[in-house]
Every structure is written in C-alpha cells, then in structure tokens.
Amino acid sequence: MEKVRAENKGYFGEFGGSFVPEDLQTVMNELEQQFLRYKDDPEFIEEYKYYLREYIGRENPLTYAENLTERIGGAKIYLKREDLNHTGAHKINNAIGQILLAKRMGVKRIIAETGAGQHGVATATACAMFGMECVIYMGKLDTERQALNVFRMELLGAKVVPVSKGQGRLKDAVDEALGDLVQNYKNTFYLLGSAVGPHPYPTMVKHFQAIISEESKRQILEKEGKLPTAVIACAGGGSNAIGAFAHYIDEEDVRLIGVEPAEAPTLSEGVPAVIHGFKCLTLLDEKGDPKPTYSIAAGLDYPGVGPEHSYLKTSGRGEYVTVTGQVALDAFLLLSKTEGIIPALESSHAVAYAVKLAKELTADDLLIVNLSGRGDKDVEQVFGMLKNKENN
C-alpha cells in the first residue's frame, strides 16, 4: 500500500497513526467519527453488554489454578477464562462490538481478512447472528491449509474468497479487503480482528477487548482484596493482551507482561516501521520488507504488533518476553493435565511464562494469565507434533 500521509491522531508516542491513501483515509475518518459518537452512548453500551452476556456467555470466571500453583510453588496463578466464550476465544468480544457499530452505521455488508481462520470464524459467527452479508478474504495457501475453518465459515453463511495474488498469504488478503472497502465503503464495514491497522482500529479494538480487564480487576479484588503482581498475556497483533492490560495500565505497581513466540519476536527485536497502514515495532528482512515468521501458534504469526504495545515497550511500562514453541507446548500439556483445561497454543505461551515467573515469586504474589482461547482447534496439530517427536 502506498504511504500517502499520516493523520495526527491515534498516536501512542511515535507509534500508530494512519498511513493510507487519500480515499481510504476518508473512510477511516468517517469510521472514527461514528466510533466516537457511539462508544459512550448508553444505549449502545447496553446493547453491547446484552450480547456479551446472552450470546458470548460473559462474564467468564477468573479461575484459581490451584493444582498448577501447588505443582509450581511460588505465586498464586489465576486464569482469565476467555476460552469459555462462545466460539472459544477472545476474538468474539471485538467482532460483536464492531458489528454493533456497523449496524448503527446502517451497513449490511461485513468484510474481513483472516490468516489461520480464527478471526474469520468469529466474524462469520457475528454476521450470522445479526443477519449481515459476510465476505472473508483469505490467502489461497491459507484456505488450503485451513480447509476445515473455511467450511466452518461457510456453514455460518459466509462467502470465503481465496486470494491468489502475491504469495497467497494474510498480507495479500488484507490488501484485497482494503481494495473492496475503498470500492464499496457506502454499504460495507471492514471488521478488523486485532489491535493493529490504521487509526481508529487499534483504539476501537482495545475498547471492545477492555471488558477482559474490566472483569478481571473486579474479580481479583473480590477474591483477594488486592491487585495482581502481574498480568500476563500472549501477543500476536496484541488484542487479547491490550484488553487484558487496559484497566491496569494506570496501576503502576501491576506488571504488564506480553509474551511473544521466540520465532516471531516483534516487540523484542523489531524496529519502528510502517506496515499495513500504521507504525509499530516490526520485524524486517535485509530489504526492509516485513519478515516472514513461523510460530506453532498461527494467531501469533505476525511480523508487526499493535502500536500501543510498541509504546508500552519503548516507554518501559510494559515488559515483553519470548517463549519458544517447545516451551509453549510443554505448558499446553501441563495445564491440560493439572487443571483439565486445554489451552490454545497461543495462550500456552502466556501460561509458560507464568510458570517460569511464579517460581521466582512468593505466595503473596498473584499472577493473572489471560487464557485467550481453548485448545480444541490445536489438538490435531499437537497430536502430529508429539507423534513426530516419538518417531525421531
């Protein structure tokens, strides 16, 4: 995408902004207006809360992982159970929020991009619920690797468009979706899945995911009468992490810890650059292009990250660490055995770091791990990985 200009809003330090062509900027300005108009509107909030409760099944619990805590020794570990949401992850919080906004804007057609398919499924689900036309752009390669998720989206009534341009990957799907939006903006809403992209998306996605920490803060105060030592969440684009951090950012004694895959260490090793219409810490190759990454957790496989995380990192408010796929896999197995909870491979990165940190702390310390999703989607992949290991 050509970089035409930066709007002077939606900045977190030097990060964020909106670097998009003029015609797309007009659409972003309108979206910002509508978001600002409705986000504090009591009727809008009431409707959002209604669907959170009646459709997603919130509030979800903050579960004390007693067996895990006893096994590890050290800090008490609590799990924020986004895995118990309808569709099995945090993404639906944002999908419902944005679709309610689209409804207020009088739009009937929703488009989205998806890589592994999880955001596509959440979007298709919300569209079925609200009777919206749904078009999902997906790299051709990804449609082949994720055939079952394509079928899932189709079951939900969505049209999945395979994109063969470029490398047939997520980036190409994003470009197609943006092209569609510019063409059809009058009746179309682009539902973005993570806290990335041009302003106002990072701010809007944070707003709808902040329900995670709104609940967890109330819950930990009820259970323990004090705030946690640290909140730990995995970071791909950064939406579950920013939602899990939001209500603690001003609580300076609470450590905010984002966990990245060692195979895609955007915040740990990235440099400031503009990708996909916004500025963030980014992994670049020698030619200055976004670097292909590979994580065992498809949802964490992104060379950029949300602008607010980039700012939390450079300002020192947030801590960002890495965990390898192997260590995340061990945590996946450990949580399944000790607590009877199979975590998503993405969330397993956060669990892995919590296990490491808990040992260094005392029983007076509380850790909240954001369990962003359930691992049912990953069981087949883990089966394959364990089998491979046996054979080697």
Q: Active-site residues: which are they?
A: 91, 113, 372
97 vs 373, beta carbon nearer ligand PLP = 373
CA atoms of 354 and 185, how far apart (whole Å): 43
DSSP character at residue 56: I
Answer for the pair 357, 365: CB distance below 8 angstroms, yes or no. no
Decide whether 170 or 358 has the Cβ nearer to ligand PLP: 170
Distance of CA 177 to the CA centre of its chain: 19
Which residue number, 143 or 240, has a Cβ lying nearer to ligand PLP?
A: 240
Q: Identify which of residues 51 and 208 has a Cβ nearer to ligand PLP in the complex.
A: 208
Rounded to the nearest whole angstrom, what is the least distance from the CB of residue 245 to ligand PLP in the complex? 11
User: Quick check: 373 binds ligand PLP (CB under 6 A)?
Assistant: yes
Given the DSSP bridges, would you call strands 15-16 and 11-12 parallel, antiparallel or unpaired? antiparallel
Quote the CA–CA distance of 267 and 73 in Å, as a whole number: 29
Residues 193-212 that bind ligand PLP (CB under 6 A): 194
Q: Which is nearer to ligand PLP, 168 or 306 (CB)?
A: 306
Say how many Å lie between the first and final Cα of the chain, rounded. Answer: 44
Check binding of 236 to ligand PLP (CB under 6 A).
yes
Instruction: Closer to ligand PLP by CB, 61 or 288: give it.
Output: 61
* Binding status of residue 299 toward ligand PLP by CB under 6 A: yes
Q: Which residue is nearest to ligand PLP (CB)?
A: 373
Q: According to the binding rule CB under 6 A, does residue 89 interact with ligand PLP?
A: yes
Angle between helices 325-339 and 345-360 (to 10 degrees): 80
Q: What are phi and psi of 289, to 5 degrees?
A: -95, 155
* 282 binds ligand PLP, rule: CB under 6 A: no
Examine residue 120 and tell whether it contacts ligand PLP (CB under 6 A): no
Binding to ligand PLP by residue 239, rule CB under 6 A?
yes
Least distance in angstroms from the C-beta of 212 to ligand PLP:
10
As a whole number of angstroms, the distance between CA 214 and CA 248 comes to 9
CA distance 373 to 82: 6
71-to-198, 229, 340 alpha-carbon distances in Å: 44, 20, 14
Touching ligand PLP, residues 331-350 (CB under 6 A) = 344, 346-347
191 touching ligand PLP, by CB under 6 A: no
Taking CB under 6 A as the binding criterion, the range among 46-54, 101-109, 235-243, 248-256 that sits at the site for ligand PLP is: 235-243
Tokens of 156: 């939900």
Find the shortest distance in angstroms from Cβ 4 to ligand PLP. Answer: 26
Residue 372 contacts ligand PLP per CB under 6 A? yes
| Helices (runs of H) and strands (runs of E) counted in the chain | 16, 16
- Sorted by sequence, the CB contacts under 8 Å of residue 386 that are 6+ apart come out as none
Binding site for ligand PLP (CB under 6 A): 89, 91, 118, 194, 234-241, 299-300, 344, 346-347, 372-373
